[in-house]
Structure 1
Amino acid sequence: MAKLESNFKNMFLSLFTICLVVAALLAQVNKMTAKPIAEAKAMKLVNAIREVVPPFDNDPVAEAYKMPDGQGDSLTVYPAKKGDEIVGFAVNSSSNNGFGGNIQIIVGFDTENKIVNYSVLQHSETPGLGSKMTQWFKDTTKPNQSIIGRDLSSGPLKVSKDGGNVDAITASTITSRAFLEAVNKAYAVYKESDADSGAITKEEKGESK
């Protein structure tokens, strides 16, 4: 009986030692990869911002701020500047109403209510169907489906099936609605950001509203 207990104790100590070594190795690997992963994520964001707004020379990420979206949440805004002049805003937006759940996008606006471009950051939509949103709404050769250059001051974007003037992705109306919902949320926040920046500019110049 004593021999059996001794074997059990040895097995337990061996397994415990192995677990400690594996945990230490995993912690070290995580420590080594955390920084490169964070840097890659930051670079992806910077590239997405550059893709969706006019050329800028500031650091939009460093100057980012949050604005309420009017629906109980807040979105991150990245102001793009040339010198001291605002040239556009990139707004990180999302919708939880996609066919596969959450859709995250970043939308760029100029200072005249128009969409410059967009980039899809994350989604779980069906490959070959809803996933087409990454390019579908930026095909300027098809003005009925492209949102590039659209002026949203005249009203929110809707798919044609809902009385709007944007052609939905074929067989992916749910995805299209969710995508446009995220774009409309981004525009609502952009309007507030643009109004605030205009007020600040006037104050800096000593002008009255």
Structure 2
Amino acid sequence: MSETSLTPPEASAAAPAPAQPGLLERWRARVAYQGLSLGAVCALVTLALLLGNQFTRGQIAAQQQEDQLAVLRQVLPATLYDNNPLAEALTVQDATLGAVEVYPARRGGQLTAMAFRVSTIGYGGAITQLIALDRDGRILGVRVLSHKETPGLADKIEVAKHDWITRFDGLSLGNPPLEQWKVKKDGGQFDQFAGATITPRAVVKGIVQALQFQVRHAVELAQPQEAKP
């Protein structure tokens, strides 16, 4: 009796060799390829950011200066100057306040007023004010530029929420006398806020510091400044 093969005919045929991966597929599996790919993506993103910054830098700078000028106009009457106080800004070293950036307002080359920033510590942190004085030391305007005081309780120092900050307009170091430059709780003439004395106290302190700074440097600030190249 002959033996019958149990092996299927197709099984006896030689199996085809598996396809070999191409060069690109072999490279993709390597760590070096992945590192190069990541590096290329990072380089492209960096280039895009640099180009974007290059094309928008001038526009951003112009907008920032316009924003600063808008704040200056709130405290410096336009009739007092024909120069650009920001462009003529100068830094004055002061024994009490350190380096203070001053924005001089000039008309016909003569100093008519000045504005500068002063920071004091309130309840929540630093309170930065922009204070403008005429050349005789009278307050032209005060604005709070930044603060971290309690919302709804101490944020009346913002002119958009209360007129308290405008009550200093027209005052000077001798009007009222120095001992009156305090909140009423401390024996002075300025109102404090219900439940928030530290904040207005810090603002008044900053204004006094600005007035005293102007007195200390009045002669220096009145000198004509050399034009910047």
Q: Output the CA distance in 2 between the equivalents of 1:35 and 1:46.
A: 16
> Does the alignment pair 1:148 with 2:169?
yes
| Contact 2:173-2:212 at 8 Å conserved across structures | no
Distance in 1, matches of 2:82 and 2:64, equals 21
- Using CA pairs under 8 Å that are at least 6 residues apart, name the structure with larger relative contact order, 1 or 2: 1
SS at match of 1:150: coil
Report the Cα distance in structure 1 between the residues aligned to 2:185 and 2:105, rounded to whole angstroms: 35
| Matches for 1:21-170 after TM superposition, within 5 Å | 21-54=44-77, 55=79, 56-71=81-96, 73-95=98-120, 97-135=121-159, 136=162, 138=164, 146-153=167-174, 154-155=177-178, 157-170=181-194
Change in Cα spacing, 1:34 to 1:100, as seen in structure 2 (3 Å) is farther
**Structure 2 spans left out of the alignment, 5+ residues:** 1-25, 225-229
- Quote the Cα distance in structure 2 between the aligned partners of 1:20 and 1:149: 57
Give RMSD over aligned pairs.
Answer: 2.8
d(CA) in 1 for partners of 2:57, 2:33: 36
Relative to 1, partners in 2 of residues 1:39 and 1:5: Cα closer, same or farther, differing over 3 Å? closer
Unmatched runs of 5 consecutive residues or more in structure 1:
141-145, 202-209
TM-score, scaled relative to structure 2: 0.70
Aligned counterpart, 2:17: none
Q: Which has the higher helix share?
A: 1
Q: CA deviation at 1:108?
A: 0.9
Question: How many residues end up aligned between the 2 structures?
Answer: 192
How many angstroms does 1:51 deviate by? 1.9
Provide closer, same or farther for how the CA distance between residues 138 and 38 of structure 1 changes in structure 2, counting only shifts above 3 A.
Answer: farther
What displacement does 1:160 show? 1.7
Cα distance in structure 2, aligned partners of 1:72 and 1:106? 14
User: Equivalent pairs: percent with the same residue?
Assistant: 30
Larger Rg: 2
**Residue 197 of structure 2 is aligned with which of 154, 159, 173?**
173
3-state secondary structure, aligned to 1:152: coil
Q: Does 1:9 align with 2:29?
A: no
Change (3 A) 1:4 1:49: closer
User: 1-side partners of 2:47 and 2:195: how far apart?
Assistant: 49
